[in-house]
Amino acid sequence: MKRLALSLVVCLITLPVRAGDGEGAKQDFAQKAAVSNIFEIEAAKIEISQGRAVAAKQFAQDMLRDHGRAAGLLSAAARNDGVTVSQSLDAQHQQKIDALKNSDPANLDQAYLSTQVTAHQQAYELFVAYAKEGPDGPLKNAAVTMLPDLHMHLTRVQGISNK
């Protein structure tokens, strides 16, 4: 789901966490989910503007649409759960975006698809774990709601990248 400046630093408003409560879990999940979502959007924009393969570009278009909607859902759920998240990439994800931007045009489609397989595997695992073990509330409900789409994205990108 974005062109961002180099080496963006995640700026969080951290909430006090008491041992035994779910605030730390909420904050951690919300931040990881937000960064993952932003990464998906930014990577998709690169593929759409510079990619060549029709299937990869169509997948990227769908990621812009779906992760754009997910951003609103996650943002509202985080706000309703009293969690504040950054709206920028962390250094690790920014490096991946920079690498995609600098990819040889002949290799961009495969590089994009490869990052998407990994990103969707990680996102799916994050959401499954939070849906099962996270504290009840809006973020957990959002995780449960978004799981089918994440699974579909993962299955689809795995199929595209294996062709």
Alpha helices in the chain (DSSP H): 23-50, 54-80, 91-101, 105-133, 138-161
Average pLDDT of every residue of the chain: 87
Where residue 44 falls (left for φ over 0; alpha for ψ -120 to 50; beta otherwise) is alpha
Compute how many other C-beta atoms are within 10 angstroms of the C-beta atom of residue 146.
24
151 pLDDT band, cuts 50/70/90, is very high
The pLDDT value recorded for residue 64 is: 96
pLDDT digits (tens, 9 = 90+) for 21-41: 588 999 999 999 999 999 999
CB 109 within 8 A of CB 56: yes
Total-model pTM: 0.84
Domain parsing of the chain, residue ranges:
23-161
What phi and psi, each to the nearest 5 degrees, are found at residue 70? Answer: -60, -35
The one-letter amino acid at 102: N
From the list 158, 16, 140, the residue with the least C-alpha distance to 73 is 140
Domain 23-161 has what CATH class?
mainly alpha
Q: pLDDT, tens digit, for every residue of 86-132?
A: 889 999 999 999 999 999 999 999 999 999 999 999 999 999 999 99
Taking each helix axis from N to C end, the angle separating 105-133 and 23-50, rounded to the nearest 10 degrees, works out to 160
Q: Would you say how long the chain is, in residues?
A: 163
